């Protein structure tokens, strides 16, 4: 058992540059995690909502927060804030599909016996998954292979395929020496 924050976003991250520490604040939407429990999907800020919330998967877990971390990291590394910028919750999933692909989204839905709600009928298209290199330019100097791999392992449709917090902290990106 542990706690899901459920509203990880830049506004809820405090940075102490002197101590080189991050603090996560505003625990108002936090909930203790218990396997098999249905949780409200009307949590998190739109630009950082995990796909599970956007397709009404009520039995989510800590990986929701890791998706949000991936969104923040992608925004920093690829200089695109927010990384996924939907004008509504349905449009948010469309923006995610433009990057991660529609076929992959449908595979995720099928795995969990979910279907796209009818509100997507007229807005979801057949998007091909983009390679992360698509977002790398001469301006994205932070996009080293290790951090791109970390982003790739956080921004996964399937919450069970995302890195856990411990796996993310043990990722090679945090072990490398950048000078």
Residues 94, 86: contact at Cβ < 8 Å?
yes
Cα within 13 Å of Cα(77), Cβ side: 23
Does residue 107 have a cis peptide bond before it, meaning omega lies within 30 degrees of 0? no
Burial of 60 (0-12, 13-18, 19+ CB in 10 A): buried
Residues 150, 132: contact at Cβ < 8 Å?
no
Spot the catalytic one: 7, 61, 91, 170: 7
Burial pattern 82-94, b for ≥16 Cβ within 10 A else e, equals bbbebeeebbbbb
Within a 10 A sphere around the Cβ of 110, how many other Cβ atoms? 10
Q: Tokens 């625990």 belong to which residue?
A: 27
Query: Is 170 a catalytic site residue?
Result: no
Where in the sequence numbering do the catalytic residues fall? 7
């Amino acid at each position: 058992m542990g706690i899901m924050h459920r509203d990880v976003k830049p506004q809820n991250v405090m940075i102490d540059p002197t101590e080189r520490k991050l603090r996560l604040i505003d625990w108002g939407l936090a909930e203790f995690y218990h396997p098999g429990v249905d949780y409200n999907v009307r949590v998190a800020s739109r630009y950082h909502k995990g796909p599970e919330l956007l397709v009404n998967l009520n039995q989510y877990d800590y990986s929701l927060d890791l998706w949000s971390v991936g969104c923040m990291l992608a925004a920093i590394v690829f200089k695109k804030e927010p990384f996924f910028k939907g004008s509504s919750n349905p449009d948010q999933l469309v923006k995610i599909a433009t990057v991660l692909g529609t076929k992959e989204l449908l595979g995720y839905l099928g795995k969990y016996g979910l279907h796209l709600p009818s509100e997507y009928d007229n807005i979801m298209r057949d998007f091909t998954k983009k390679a992360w290199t698509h977002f790398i330019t001469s301006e994205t100097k932070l996009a080293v292979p290790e951090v791109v791999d970390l982003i790739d392992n956080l921004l996964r449709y399937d919450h069970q395929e995302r890195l856990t917090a411990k796996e993310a902290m043990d990722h090679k990106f945090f072990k490398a020496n950048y000078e």
